[in-house]
Amino acid sequence: MSLPTLDRRLLRGSALALSACGPKAASQPVPPPVPPLRTVAPFPIGTCAQALHLDDPAWTALTLDQVDQLTPEWQMKMEYIVQPDGSFRFDAPDRLAAFCQTHGLRLLGHTLIWYAQVPEAFARLDESRVSFEQAYRNYILAVAGRYRGKVVGWDVVNEPVAEDGNGWRDSLWSQRLGDFEHIALAYRTARQADPDAALVLNDYNLEYNPKKRATFLKLAERLLASGAPVTALGTQMHIAADIPRGEITAMMRDLGSLGLPVHVSELDVSIVRSKGWLTARPELERKQLATYVETAEAFMALPASQRFAFTLWGLRDGQSWLRGENDTDTPNLFDVHDRPKPVLGALGQIFSS
């Protein structure tokens, strides 16, 4: 679908927003509401969640309306689970898991191993008592084992590829266990803990950097060749509105070429990470819509069996992690008053076609 064919829908979307607050509201025909994404998409729609969101009835209503899957935004990471003394805490992830069970949502575990998070307790491990490898495996067995049957899958290793695409990340894990071996070990151990979970390899900038993408795909192939059970590929897609057209399509095609299911795992489209955002905001908002549209179309072009899920990194502008960088960013599908932006209708139209 090309952008012009969406115009009618976009106009209806803006009429909806105006009719909600303008003085002529009573005299204008009210357009039908845009259907929730989960009701039209032929694959799961996801978003991220924190336990505190569950206490917000407006968040809960919007989320249950739109999505079928949650990814914990940070409370299933080591930063939350591993305490300074090396013990584990699970209260927030348990709450999220219970919420998913109550409401019939899928839960995607995020994330077991991440170069960016190396708790002190691992760094100062006394190897005379427990070997580093044992502690590493114990962690994965404890966490993935606890949520066995409750998660649909895990981002087992997050962001394994070096920023410039030259090989793999250097981290405490790679230094202690080997750069390839620690990744393979994580997948083998996660499989031991949960025989049914999808085991995802997840990374970012795969659309911006073809070299990083090639290394990512090579890593997936090498893991599979070694017997490490990678069962899906995750592409985060924290992108800016001014990404050149075609890059997302090329990435999706390449990721699809391995035959594994693909997870659009953390999609948001930043305005303020784009060049010239201060002066070109309306133009960038149009580009933001076109970027979401390209992503949805590229995902729809994958065979149905390869569409793992389409996850938005938040639904509401006001709660985006990108607001920590710049509190005027508006990267999501709903504005700060929870009103849908035209992009919601555009995605719905693509997913239902």
| Comparison of 265 and 306: residue with beta carbon closer to ligand XIL | 265
Contact string 105-144 vs ligand XIL (x = CB under 6 A): ----------------------------------------
| Comparison of 73 and 297: residue with beta carbon closer to ligand XIL | 73
CB of 217 to ligand XIL, least distance (A): 19
* Residues 305 to 324 in contact with ligand XIL, rule: CB under 6 A: 321
| Comparison of 297 and 317: residue with beta carbon closer to ligand XIL | 317
Give the one residue of 47, 69, 209, 236 binding ligand XIL; rule: CB under 6 A.
236
Determine the Cα–Cα distance for residues 256 and 277; give it in Å rounded to an integer. 32
List, as one string, the DSSP characters of 122-146.
Answer: HHT--TTTS-HHHHHHHHHHHHHHH
SS3 state of residue 268: strand
- Alpha-carbon dihedral 181, 117, 230, 182, rounded to 10 degrees: 10
**Distance in Å from the first CA to the final CA of the chain:** 9
| Comparison of 313 and 351: residue with beta carbon closer to ligand XIL | 313
Counting residues that bind ligand XIL (by CB under 6 A) gives 7
Give the one residue of 35, 74, 119, 338 binding ligand XIL; rule: CB under 6 A.
74
CB of 128 to ligand XIL, least distance (A): 34
Contact string 255-284 vs ligand XIL (x = CB under 6 A): -----------x------------------
User: C-alpha angle 338/236/197, rounded to 5°?
Assistant: 100
- Alpha-carbon dihedral 67, 72, 74, 76, rounded to 10 degrees: -170
For residue 87, the one-letter residue type is S
CB of 73 to ligand XIL, least distance (A): 5
Residue 349 binds to ligand XIL (criterion: CB under 6 A): no
CB of 282 to ligand XIL, least distance (A): 27
Give the one residue of 47, 75, 158, 332 binding ligand XIL; rule: CB under 6 A.
158
85, with CB counted inside 10 A (0-12, 13-18, 19+), is: exposed
| Comparison of 111 and 349: residue with beta carbon closer to ligand XIL | 111
* Residues 172 to 191 in contact with ligand XIL, rule: CB under 6 A: none
Token representation of residue 135: 């502690």
Give the one residue of 68, 73, 294, 317 binding ligand XIL; rule: CB under 6 A.
73
| Comparison of 236 and 349: residue with beta carbon closer to ligand XIL | 236
The pairs formed by 6-13 with CB atoms below 8 angstroms and a separation of 24 or more are 6/293, 6/345, 6/346, 6/349, 9/342, 9/345, 9/346, 9/349, 10/289, 10/342, 10/345, 10/346, 12/345, 13/340, 13/341, 13/342, 13/344, 13/345
* Residues 237 to 256 in contact with ligand XIL, rule: CB under 6 A: 238
Closest-by-Cβ residue to ligand XIL is: 321
| Comparison of 236 and 306: residue with beta carbon closer to ligand XIL | 236
SS3 state of residue 234: strand
Pairing of strands 232-235, 262-270: parallel
| Comparison of 76 and 193: residue with beta carbon closer to ligand XIL | 76
Token representation of residue 48: 């991220």
Positions in the binding site for ligand XIL (CB under 6 A) = 73-74, 158, 236, 238, 266, 321
